[in-house]
Every structure is written in structure tokens, then in C-alpha cells.
Amino acid sequence: MREAITRAHHEEWARVVASLTRRFGDLDIAEEATAEAFATAVRRWPADGVPPNPGAWLTTTAKHSAIDRIRRENKRDDKQREAQLAYDDHSTDPLGPIEDERLRLIFTCCHPALSMESRVALTLRMVGGLTVPEIARAFLVQETAMGQRITRAKAKIKAARIPYRVPSAEDLPARVSGVLAVLFVVFNEGYLATGPDTDPVRHELTAEAIRLTRLIHRLMPDDGEVAALLALMLLTEARRSARVSASGELVPLGEQDRGAWDAALVAEGHLLVRERLAAGVAPGRYQILAAINAVYTSARDVGDTDWSQVLALHDQLVRVDPSPIIALNRAIAVAELDGPEVALAAVDRLAETLRSYHAYHATRADLLRRLGRNQESRAAYDKAIELAGNTAETAYLTRRRDQLG
Amino acid sequence: MQYLISVIDDGTGTATADEMAAIDAFNDRLQSEGHWVFAGGLGSPDPATVIDNRDGEAVFTDGPFLESKEYLAGFWVVEAPDLDVALKLAADGSKHCNRKVEVRPFL
């Protein structure tokens, strides 16, 4: 029974919230009524059995609960009903190019007029169905503060009239990349969790990010960047268990037990990357990142890695995204092809912008170590350890430093 | 739905002739597309006076109510069906007047 309810929660939560938001034009009412419908299911399904169509049952139950709430409130405040009706008018627009109400919900929660923090929180609550305490825990924020963040975001959507719709074709690429940025933040927080008392990898966050990205990929199968972000997440997630040792230490790519990678996830990620290459459209940021990870995961041994391909992809990536972090990753490929000295020169040019980024110091430390400049390497490891927020990474860097002798 | 688009100046001073011409062109567009409600430009906040007559005895204070490097230099009130349209208008307005702007919905 528990399993049936969990499955219904995964499969139906966003659909019920989306359909109620469209019907009542109010995220608050939709969220509360949906939560109530699931609470009713938890009470009733064990005795009555799972209904033949759980989604329809939940939507109907939630609708009744929403109507009850609106009736109660309308007795108090007729003005609010007028506001709701006015908003509802708006949601009778014809559906955009993609016909799924959940997409409207996703685009509304990831609206660019909301702060990134609010977008992440709102998406996890309204689309992912995570509870406020769960989201608060995930981002190491007090529950009350997280509750306020979500409440404020919903209030802004209502007061400023952020529309409940899929953006026009003209705005779609920019808005999709805004949605993907939210999902990438969620995934990365799971993949490289920060904080001294957190697990180094928070599987519940990476899993949630993948689940939501899968959903968007199903809803927008032709969008190359969506497919690529999914591939990137799958190829990263595939290495999860090999990435942290039994003693809780980060294992770098070159030292991972490749037999421990999840072959099914690797295969799925590779297939998505190949499909994108076959589409022949100029690749965006996530497509190049996914391709780089496909190269990494194609080598049976780190020694077989096609570094010239990795470098060529990084050159392409620098043109799309000229950020210093990309330049830093490019230098790692340079080290494999042209040696650590050339790479170090490239890394040192990034000192100004990346001075407070732990990976900059960790990369320098490794290059200096390979050049036998142990004293400088040690200093760079010290700096990296000081700045790294991930417990597994700190453990790895500390061991490497102490091995310098 | 109406939105206030406030123009925020941080000491660049009054608009240049080129900026004024661009603002006029933008105003014409707002009118022809049916978004226009009202607009106005403001002088610097230096000569402002704050009045408090809540107790029935007006107290005048010399200067703006908020001392800040950034100040309100003008505004548009526009009619737009939703925030997406208002944000597009605001982005165009910012470009035309060459200043930062803020969008706020009216009640």
C-alpha cells in the first residue's frame, strides 16, 4: 500500500497541482488541496483499496477540497473571488506548442522574475511534491525560512500576475534554459553536497533532479538541451557509487573502479548523446557537457580516454560559455595532452577570477605535484582544503597533501 | 492590469538629448500599442520636501524621505495583461531611457 501511495505521489502530484492551478488560478489553493487529497489517500486507501484510476481519484478529491476552501473564504471575502475569476479568464488561453499542464506549472515556478533560490524551492514543492521540511533539510535552511521563501514566491506570482502558461516559441529557448538551470542546481547540490555535517552525496536530490528532468524530456522530446541535461545527469549519476570510497573519500575519475559504474545509466546517457549528435543541430552548453562525459565514460580504462576529443569539446564549450571554470576544466585536458607545465601556465592565468574557488587550488596542487614542486603543491592543497565544502573532497585533498612527504 | 515602471538614476543626472528622443519614441510606441496610461520625468530629489500631517499639524522636512545614491528619476504607468508583457515593456524602457528600471504591480 505504501508503495502504491509513493508511486501515485511520484506520478500524479505535479499533474494534480497543475490541473488545479489551471482550474482555480491560484498556486496556494492548488498546493493545499493536492496535499490534502494525498493525506486523504493515506487514510482511505488502506481500507478501501487503491482506486482503479488513482490520478483521477486524487484530482477529484483535490478539486472538492479546493472548492470547499474557496466557498469558506468567499463568505469572508467576495473581493477575492472576483480576483480569482479574473485570473481564471487568463488560463483559458489556447495551449501553447506543448500540451501538458505540468509544463505550465514548471515554467511558472522557474519564472525569471523569481530569485534562483525561490525557483528551486518552488519547483521542488509544486512540481516535485517534496514537503517544506524536506526542502529545508536539502538546502540546510531553517524550516520557517524555507516556508516563507515559498510563500513569498507564490504571493509574488499572484500579485505581479506571473502568467500560468508555456512561453511563446520566441521566448522558449531562454525560458527552457532557465528551467534547466534550476534542475542543474538541484542535481549539483545533491552531487557535491556542501556542509560539514552532510553526506558527501545526497542521493535524494540527484534522484529528484533526474526524475524532474526525465519528466521535462518526455514533455519536450525535441529539445536538444533538455535531452542533453538528462544525459549529463545520467552519466554523472552512473559513477556515483564509484566516486566515494568506503572510508568516505572522493575518488577522482582516473582512479575509479569502472566496473562499479551503473552500466544501464551509462548506456542510456550514451544513447541520448548519440541521438543529439544525429540531430545535427548546433550543440548548446549541456550538449557539449554531455558529450564530454560520454567521452569519459566510453573509455574502459582512464589511459584509453580520448583526450584530444575532450580538449576539442572544451574548445567548443569555451565559445558557448566563456566562464573561467570552463577554462579551468579545459586545462585538465591540456595537462593530459601537452603536459602539466603547459596546463599550469593556463591555470595561473585564471588566478584573478578563481582565487576563492577550491577547484582552482586543487587543480594547481595536482599539476604542481606532477611537476615535483612539492612545497608549492602543499600550499595549494592547504588552500583547496580550506575552501572545499564537501567532506569527501576534503578527505581526498588531505590524503593527497599528506602523501607529498 | 497596471504596472508602475520606475526609472532609477544613480547620479547620471538629467537625460541627454539622445535619451530624450529615444524616450519619446518609446512613449509613441506605448500609445500606439495600447499600453500607455501615464508617464513623467522627475527633477533631482535635492529640492524635495517631506510633509507629515498625520497629527493635523503639518511638519515640513527639507530633503527627500530617503537619502540614497539611487533615486526615482521618472516613471511609466502601463497597462499589460501579465508580468511577462510588463517585463518586456520595462526591458525596452530601460534600453530607451538608458537607466535601470523597477516593475511593480498596482493593487
Residue A90 contacts B, CB cutoff 8 Å? yes
Confidence of residue A77 (pLDDT cuts 50, 70, 90): low
Residue A384, pLDDT > 70, answer: yes
Main-chain phi, psi angles of A312, to 5 degrees: -60, -40
pLDDT digits (tens, 9 = 90+) for A351-363: 999 999 999 999 9
Q: Is the CB of A90 less than 8 angstroms away from the CB of B83?
A: no
Q: Total domain count for chain B? A: 1
pLDDT at B14 (0 to 100): 79
Q: pLDDT by residue (tens digit) across A259-307?
A: 999 999 999 999 999 998 888 788 899 999 999 999 999 998 888 999 9
Contact (Cβ atoms closer than 8 angstroms) between residue A98 and residue A172: no
Query: Per mean pLDDT, which range of A26-40, A85-99, A324-338 is the poorest?
Result: A85-99
Position B70: which residue type?
Answer: E
- For A105-165, the DSSP string reads HHHHHT-TTS-HHHHHHHIIIIIT---HHHHHHHTT--HHHHHHHHHHHHHHHHHTT---S
Average pLDDT, chain A: 89
A196 pLDDT band, cuts 50/70/90, is: low
The pLDDT of residue A295: 96
Q: How far apart are CA A334 and CA A85, in angstroms?
A: 61
Residue A59, pLDDT score? 95
DSSP H or E stretch at residue B7: strand B2-9
- A90, B81: Cβ pair inside 8 Å? yes
The band of A78, judged by pLDDT with boundaries at 50, 70 and 90, is low
State residue A81's pLDDT score: 54
Asked if residue A381 is part of any domain, the answer here is: yes
What is the per-residue DSSP string for A217-237?
HHHSTT-HHHHHHHHHHHHHH
What phi, psi does B41 have (nearest 5°)? -110, 150
pLDDT, position A202? 79
Model confidence band, residue A92 (pLDDT cutoffs 50, 70, 90): very low
CATH number at residue B90: 3.30.70.1060
Residue B84 half-sphere exposure toward CB, CA atoms < 13 A = 15
The length of chain A in residues reads 405
Tens digit of each residue's pLDDT (9 = 90 or more) over B43-63 = 888 899 999 999 999 999 999
Given a contact cutoff of 8 angstroms between Cβ atoms, the answer to whether A290 and A317 are in contact is no
H helices of chain B, in order, are: 17-32, 83-97
Q: State the smallest CA–CA distance between residue B17 and chain A in angstroms.
A: 32
Contact flag A163-B87 (C-beta cutoff 8 Å): no
State the DSSP code for A364.
H
What is the per-residue pLDDT across A113-128, written as a single tens digit (0 to 9) for each? 999 999 999 999 999 9
Instruction: Tell whether the model's pLDDT for residue A212 goes beyond 80.
Output: yes
* Alpha-carbon radius of gyration of chain A: 24
B residues 80-99 lying closer than 8 A (beta carbon) to A = 81-84, 86-87
Residue A303 lies in a domain: no
Residues of chain B with pLDDT under 50: none
* Type of residue at A254: G
Interchain pair A160, B103: CB under 8 A: yes
Q: Residue A195, SS3?
A: coil
C-alpha cell at A255: 582512479
Cα of first residue to Cα of last residue in chain A, in angstroms, is: 58
CATH of the domain at A343: 1.25.40.10
For position B32, what pLDDT does the model report? 97
Look at residue A341 and tell me if it is in a domain. Answer: yes
What's the domain count of chain A?
1
Question: Alpha-carbon distance A203 to A127, whole Å?
Answer: 18
Mutate to test the interface with B, among A157, A161, A175 (most CBs of B within 10 A): A161
pLDDT of residue A99: 55
Contact A266, A295 (CB under 8 A): no
Mean of the pLDDT values across residues A247-254? 90
Range of the domain at A398: 323-405
Q: How many CB pairs under 8 A join A and B?
A: 26
Give the structural domain span for B42.
2-105
Confidence of residue A10 (pLDDT cuts 50, 70, 90): confident
Contact A124/A186 with Cβ under 8 angstroms? yes
